[in-house]
């Protein structure tokens, strides 16, 4: 089982969390002309890398906050977690 | 090639089975091929076989980073079905069912195809209505479908929990009697043996490290066993699709996820066909050895690990116990995982790409095994003729941007939720 460090609650078991997908996908800006390709990239296209992946998790059975996790998709090692307002570099 | 039969079995018994021919050779790669298929799983080997058989192209190499049959073709729960609602998926997989029915004879290798039926259980009136609709769609496409009521289900699977105080009582189910199971390793080996006998080189332990693309045209692949020139290259790598796409600077509508399965200790026959639970994600069948073969949800986050976590197994088996309480007394023998190329609408992609001579076969989600023959058949056609066959005409890469999705389950792009 993964152990995820929620930036608000601390280290908790995976069972308390729900996954939210790739955190680097950006929704096209509102009130701007959006090309078909931009929508495609936002809705469907995913890098899904083997290795370091920045992703969203939701502490659904805890503080119910969304936050970012940097995790290795091959070893499941978790390197960093951060609040939504923070960047993971 | 030595033909397998009862006579060759008896003949070889006299020499203590020491003189069987090897089933496929272990060649060193040539410097150039007409076609290189990347991925020696079921789909890749089937593609090579149909290239040779249907299109008379035998200057073909199948390159595999591990050993053939070591990936998803040896990790699935062996279910074969064509109970799809959408025309494109239904036609495609029903053509595949015809290939399955004759596969053991065609390959001279017993793939143990056993059409013992699949039952999708319904646990509410709404679900019964939805299954009636799906069953009607199937029948319009010439696929056998039977809507079962509670009593009919009870006759077929008496071991399920039919008591009155269960949380999700069985209302009935949708059955495809012609669905079934097969021996998955046998499928890979059968295709490999026949493809090899027709001149295809099967090169194992050969990993693709890069591609040679010049002027928008594929020229060859760079591998751990040297550079191989090729006029055409087909990608058949399931869970590794995104890794190779990255080397080609392509981004695909695919995420890679992990799916687990498990088997129990063997018991006497209790379950004839395949059964799926309708109130959770759980499916079960009994192997010829008597093991209960079970699977369910994805682990739920992007993964290339090929091994899973315990919470998912626990969650899946909770659903299993709700359906078949007797499972609680069985010991689990093994659990394992495979990595799935989850497409954004749950349907596969067999298409050309923007690079000339590069063809794509991916997005099988967790249902690739049943389509092994038809995937190979249509992919071989697509590569050999450089155009899509009408069976895979809708399984295109651009259906996402054009809005012609094949979202069979209506789940959308959050693949981990399915």
Q: What are the distances in angstroms from CA B216 to CA B36, B252, B302, B354? A: 17, 18, 31, 8
Is residue B263 within 8 Å of residue B287, measured between CB atoms? yes
Confidence check: pLDDT of A17 > 70: yes
Q: Which of A26, A44, A77, A78 to mutate to test the interface with B (most CBs of B within 10 A)?
A: A44
What average pLDDT does range B191-217 have in this prediction? 97
| Helix (H/G/I), strand (E/B), else coil: B180 | strand
Burial class (CB in 10 A: 0-12, 13-18, 19+), B244: buried
CA angle, corner B305, sides to B302 and B310, nearest 5? 85
Look at residue B228 in the predicted model and tell me its pLDDT.
98
What average pLDDT does range A5-28 have in this prediction? 95
| C-beta atoms of A19 and B300 within 8 A | yes
* Separation between Cα atoms, residue B210 and residue B55, nearest integer Å: 28
Q: What are the distances in angstroms from CA B149 to CA B121, B142, B144, B319, B322? A: 10, 22, 17, 21, 19
* Separation between Cα atoms, residue A40 and residue A19, nearest integer Å: 22
Confidence check: pLDDT of B380 > 80: yes
Place of tokens 């020499």: B15
What DSSP element (H or E) covers B381? helix B372-385
pLDDT band (50, 70, 90) for residue B418:
low
What confidence tens digit (pLDDT) does each residue in B98-150 have?
Answer: 999 999 999 999 999 999 999 999 999 999 999 999 999 999 999 999 999 99
Token pair, residue B359, equals 């063809």
Q: What are the distances in angstroms from CA B350 to CA A27, B76, B280, B295, B403? A: 28, 21, 30, 26, 17
Taking the CA of residue B332 and the nearest CA in chain A, the distance in Å comes to 19
* Separation between Cα atoms, residue B349 and residue B88, nearest integer Å: 12
What average pLDDT does range B263-286 have in this prediction? 96
| Set of chain B residues whose Cβ sits within 8 Å of the Cβ of A49 | 242, 246
Q: Which residues pair with B179 in a beta bridge?
A: none
Place of tokens 């010049």: B214
| C-beta atoms of A46 and B255 within 8 A | yes
Is residue B177 within 8 Å of residue B84, measured between CB atoms? no
Which of B83, B283, B84 has the alpha carbon at shortest distance from B178? Answer: B83
Q: On the CB side of B277, how many CA atoms lie within 13 Å of its CA?
A: 25
What average pLDDT does range B78-103 have in this prediction? 97
Token pair, residue B20, equals 């069987």
DSSP result, B75-139:
TS--EE----SSHHHHHHHHHHHHHHHTHHHHHTS----B---EEEEE-SHHHHHHHHHHHHHHH
Percent of the residues in chain B that have a pLDDT greater than 90, as a whole number: 95
Is residue B395 within 8 Å of residue B348, measured between CB atoms? yes
Task: Find the CB nearest B243 among A14, A50, A75.
Answer: A50
| Set of chain A residues whose Cβ sits within 8 Å of the Cβ of B304 | 50, 73-74
DSSP state of B252: B
Q: Which domains does chain A have, with CATH numbers?
A: 3-83 (3.30.2270.10)
| Helix (H/G/I), strand (E/B), else coil: B251 | coil
What DSSP element (H or E) covers B398? none
Q: Which domains does chain B have, with CATH numbers?
A: 24-109+183-253+345-417 (3.50.50.60), 118-181+256-343 (3.30.9.10)
pLDDT band (50, 70, 90) for residue B300:
very high
| C-beta atoms of A14 and B309 within 8 A | yes
What average pLDDT does range B158-184 have in this prediction? 96
| C-beta atoms of B304 and A73 within 8 A | yes
Token pair, residue B348, equals 């596969």
Residue environment code for B216-242, b if the CB has 16+ CB neighbours within 10 A, otherwise e: eebebbebeeeebebebbbbbbbbbbb
Token pair, residue B232, equals 């055409």
Is residue A21 within 8 Å of residue B330, measured between CB atoms? no
Token pair, residue A21, equals 């997908």
DSSP result, B322-372:
HH-GGGGGSPEEEEEEEEEEEETTSS-EEEE-SSBTEEEEE--TT--GGGH
A contact residues 60-79, partner B, Cβ 8 Å cutoff = 71, 73-76
Look at residue A30 in the predicted model and tell me its pLDDT.
86
Confidence check: pLDDT of B43 > 80: yes
Is residue B44 within 8 Å of residue B222, measured between CB atoms? no
| Set of chain B residues whose Cβ sits within 8 Å of the Cβ of A71 | 301
Token pair, residue A46, equals 């995913």
Confidence check: pLDDT of B289 > 80: yes
What DSSP element (H or E) covers B63? strand B60-63
Report the 10 Å Cβ neighbour count for B415. Answer: 26
| C-beta atoms of A48 and B242 within 8 A | yes
Token pair, residue B330, equals 């069985």
Look at residue B143 in the predicted model and tell me its pLDDT.
97
Confidence check: pLDDT of B307 > 90: no
| C-beta atoms of B301 and A37 within 8 A | no
| C-beta atoms of A15 and B311 within 8 A | yes
Q: On the CB side of B76, how many CA atoms lie within 13 Å of its CA?
A: 29
Q: Which residues pair with B300 in a beta bridge?
A: none
């Amino acid at each position: 089982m993964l152990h995820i460090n929620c930036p608000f609650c601390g280290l908790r078991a995976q069972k308390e969390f729900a996954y939210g997908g790739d955190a680097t996908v950006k929704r096209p800006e509102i009130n701007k002309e959006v090309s078909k390709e931009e929508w495609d990239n936002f809705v469907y296209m995913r890098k899904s890398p083997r290795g370091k992946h920045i992703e969203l998790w939701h502490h659904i059975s805890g503080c119910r906050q969304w936050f970012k996790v940097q995790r290795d998709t091959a070893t499941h090692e978790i390197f960093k977690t951060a609040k939504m307002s923070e960047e993971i570099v | 090639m030595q033909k397998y039969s009862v006579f060759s079995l008896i003949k070889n018994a006299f020499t203590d089975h020491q003189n069987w021919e090897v089933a496929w050779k272990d060649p060193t790669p040539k410097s150039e091929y007409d076609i290189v298929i990347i991925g020696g799983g079921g789909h890749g080997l089937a593609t090579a076989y149909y290239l040779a058989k249907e299109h008379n192209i035998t200057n073909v190499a199948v390159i595999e980073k591990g050993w053939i049959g070591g990936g998803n073709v040896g990790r699935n729960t062996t279910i074969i079905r064509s109970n799809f609602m959408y025309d494109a998926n239904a036609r495609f997989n029903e053509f595949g069912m015809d290939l399955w029915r004759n596969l053991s004879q065609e390959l001279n290798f017993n793939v143990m195809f056993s059409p013992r039926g699949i039952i999708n259980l319904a646990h509410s009136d709404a679900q019964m209505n939805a299954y009636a609709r799906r069953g009607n769609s199937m029948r319009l496409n010439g696929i056998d479908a039977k809507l079962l009521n509670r009593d009919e289900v009870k006759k077929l699977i008496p071991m399920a929990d039919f008591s009155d105080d269960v949380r999700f009582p069985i209302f009935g189910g949708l059955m495809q009697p012609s669905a079934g199971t097969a021996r998955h390793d046998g499928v890979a080996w059968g295709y490999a043996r026949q493809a090899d006998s027709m001149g295809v080189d099967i090169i194992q332990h050969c990993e693709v490290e890069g591609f040679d693309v010049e002027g928008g045209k594929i020229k060859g692949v760079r591998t751990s066993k040297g550079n191989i020139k090729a006029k055409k290259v087909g990608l058949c790598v399931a869970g590794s699709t995104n890794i190779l796409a990255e080397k080609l600077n392509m981004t695909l509508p695919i995420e890679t996820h992990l799916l687990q399965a498990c088997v129990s200790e063997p018991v006497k026959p209790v379950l004839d066909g395949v059964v799926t639970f309708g109130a959770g994600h759980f499916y079960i069948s009994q192997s010829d050895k008597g093991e209960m073969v079970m699977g369910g949800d994805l682990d739920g986050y992007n993964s290339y690990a090929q091994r899973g976590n315990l919470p998912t197994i626990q969650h899946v088996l909770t659903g299993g116990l709700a359906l078949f309480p007797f499972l609680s007394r069985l010991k689990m023998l093994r659990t394992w995982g495979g990595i799935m190329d989850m497409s954004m609408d749950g349907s596969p992609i067999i298409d050309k790409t923007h690079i000339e001579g590069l063809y794509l076969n991916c997005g099988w989600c967790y249902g690739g095994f049943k389509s092994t023959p038809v995937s190979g058949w249509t992919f071989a056609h697509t590569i050999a003729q450089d155009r899509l066959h009408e069976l895979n005409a809708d399984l295109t890469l651009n259906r996402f941007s054009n809005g012609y999705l094949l979202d069979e389950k209506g789940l959308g792009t959050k693949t981990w939720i399915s």
